């Protein structure tokens, strides 16, 4: 009898120990996933930190309801009115750790150009959308790192849930000869976005960036001409060559139908960011969530800024490298460039089926 009671007690103790070990195991596994979530390689993308609350909310919602919060937003027009910032503010869910069902996928949309067109502004504005997951840095996969392979490229992408659009921006893609074929080989259905801007101001903007890094180069006026006396333009000088939009677009059009290419009007992205964002959201098949409520015009900066970026209650403008003061360029050089670009612009309008109104 005594040995039976003894055995019974031993069994209970064993059971208790097993239970404690089981719970400790659960705690360790949760801690592990939490830490993996926190230390994810996305530290590259500063904005992903801003996205974390949105991500956690989306993950929590999907895990609980089996669907993405977009469905919740779609279901109610009132909710659809809510800004993405409001949707993403769910601090009580932050402790849940990273969503386990999210995966890294190849992008379904790319901002392929143009350099100095306003690509950073577009990306930063788009990432306010809860159904957009965008890489903050420029991966240059299709032009510089193609040999690393698609698995490397995928590993660069932020994690996304089903229904979220993964995207990146690398403005050089638009002018790099090899990129359309490579992108086509990855996906025939990919959506391509090109932010275009008056090629003359784009060239000056490009030059402004160059002199900020290499101040002692010749003047814009000098570099513009092959021969100043004859007035022959140096079309091979990168700031001028990039602006030959028709030339570059023709290459893309031999791989992709125009229906897969959306043009953002760079000047309107500044004067009416919400209007341009509305059209981009339509093109991407997204609900129009980023609206004029998200923007205000900052007089000091001279550009639209965000009222409330992700994860912050403070207004935010793009950094100092966006919206630089351009050097003064001789008016006759500007006019010569306008004349030079005129036929190219006409051809571009014809190919794109859109008149951008550059003089």
Ligand X SMILES: Nc1ncnc2c1ncn2[C@@H]1O[C@H](COP(=O)(O)OS(=O)(=O)O)[C@@H](OP(=O)(O)O)[C@H]1O
Q: Binding site membership for 3'-phosphoadenylyl sulfate: which residues?
A: 116-120, 197, 205, 322-326
**Under rule CB under 6 A, residue 54 binds ligand X:** no
> What does the DSSP assignment read for 48-84?
HHHHHHHHHHHHHHHHHHSS-HHHHHHH-HHHHHS-H
Going by the annotation, the residues of the binding site are: 116-120, 197, 205, 322-326
**Under rule CB under 6 A, residue 117 binds ligand X:** yes
Of 171, 180, 239, 243, which lies in the binding site for ligand X, with binding defined by CB under 6 A?
171
The CA-CA-CA angle for residues 16, 18, 23, to 5°, reads 95
Q: Which is nearer to ligand X, 55 or 141 (CB)?
A: 141
Burial of 57 (0-12, 13-18, 19+ CB in 10 A): buried
- From 38-46, 112-120, 157-165, 332-340, give the range in contact with ligand X by CB under 6 A: 112-120
Of 130, 139, 304, 309, which lies in the binding site for ligand X, with binding defined by CB under 6 A?
304
Q: Which of residues 249-278 bind ligand X (CB under 6 A)?
A: 269-270
Q: Around Cβ 205, how many Cβ atoms within 10 Å?
A: 22
Q: Which is nearer to ligand X, 269 or 337 (CB)?
A: 269
**Under rule CB under 6 A, residue 116 binds ligand X:** yes
- Provide the minimum distance between the beta carbon of 306 and ligand X in the complex, in angstroms, as a whole number: 8
Q: Find the Cα–Cα–Cα–Cα dihedral 332, 238, 344, 179, rounded to 10°.
A: -170
**Under rule CB under 6 A, residue 115 binds ligand X:** yes
Beta-ladder partners of 230? none
Kindly state the tokens that stand for 16: 């208790």
**Under rule CB under 6 A, residue 118 binds ligand X:** yes
Cα dihedral across residues 257, 191, 122, 81: positive or negative: positive
Rounded CA separation 176/251 (Å): 10
Q: Which residues are catalytic?
A: 116
Q: Which is nearer to ligand X, 116 or 248 (CB)?
A: 116
Q: Which is nearer to ligand X, 90 or 223 (CB)?
A: 223
- Provide the minimum distance between the beta carbon of 122 and ligand X in the complex, in angstroms, as a whole number: 8
Report which secondary-structure segment, H or E, holds 196. strand 191-196
**Under rule CB under 6 A, residue 199 binds ligand X:** no
Sheet containing strand 191-196, edge to edge, reads: 132-134, 165-169, 109-113, 191-196, 261-265
Q: Which is nearer to ligand X, 187 or 208 (CB)?
A: 208
**Under rule CB under 6 A, residue 196 binds ligand X:** no
* Binding positions for ligand X, rule: CB under 6 A: 115-121, 171, 205, 208, 269-270, 303-304, 318, 322-324
């Amino acid at each position: 009898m005594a040995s039976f009671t003894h055995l019974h007690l031993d069994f209970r103790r064993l059971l208790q120990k097993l239970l404690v070990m089981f719970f400790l195991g659960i705690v360790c596994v949760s801690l592990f996933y939490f830490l993996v979530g926190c230390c994810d390689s996305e530290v590259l993308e500063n904005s992903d930190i801003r996205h974390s609350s949105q991500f956690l909310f989306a993950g929590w919602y999907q895990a609980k309801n089996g669907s993405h919060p977009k469905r919740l937003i779609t279901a109610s027009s009132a909710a659809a009115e809510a800004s993405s910032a409001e949707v993403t503010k769910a601090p009580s869910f932050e402790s849940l750790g990273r969503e386990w069902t999210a995966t890294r996928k190849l992008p379904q949309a790319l901002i392929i150009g143009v350099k100095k067109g306003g690509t950073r502004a577009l990306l930063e504005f788009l990432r306010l959308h809860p159904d957009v997951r965008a890489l903050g840095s420029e991966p240059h996969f299709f032009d510089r790192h193609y040999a690393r392979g698609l698995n490397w490229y995928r590993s660069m992408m932020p994690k996304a849930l089903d229904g979220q659009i993964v995207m990146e921006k690398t403005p050089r893609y638009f002018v790099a000869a090899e990129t359309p074929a490579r992108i086509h080989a990855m996906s025939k259905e990919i959506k391509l976005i090109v932010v275009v801007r008056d090629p003359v101001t784009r060239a000056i903007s490009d030059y402004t960036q160059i002199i900020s890094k290499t101040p002692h180069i010749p003047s814009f006026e000098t570099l513009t001409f092959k021969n100043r006396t004859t007035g022959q333009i140096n079309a091979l000088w990168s700031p001028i060559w990039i602006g030959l939009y028709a030339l570059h677009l023709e290459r893309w059009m031999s791989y992709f139908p125009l229906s897969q290419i959306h043009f953002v009007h760079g000047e309107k992205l500044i004067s009416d960011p919400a209007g341009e964002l509305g059209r981009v959201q339509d093109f991407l098949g997204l609900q129009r969530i980023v609206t004029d409520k998200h923007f205000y015009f900052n007089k000091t900066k001279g550009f639209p800024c965000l009222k409330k970026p992700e994860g912050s209650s403070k207004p935010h403008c793009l950094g100092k490298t966006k919206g630089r003061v351009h050097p003064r360029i001789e008016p006759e050089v500007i006019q010569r460039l306008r004349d030079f670009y005129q036929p190219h612009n006409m051809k571009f309008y014809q190919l794109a089926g859109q008149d951008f109104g550059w003089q």
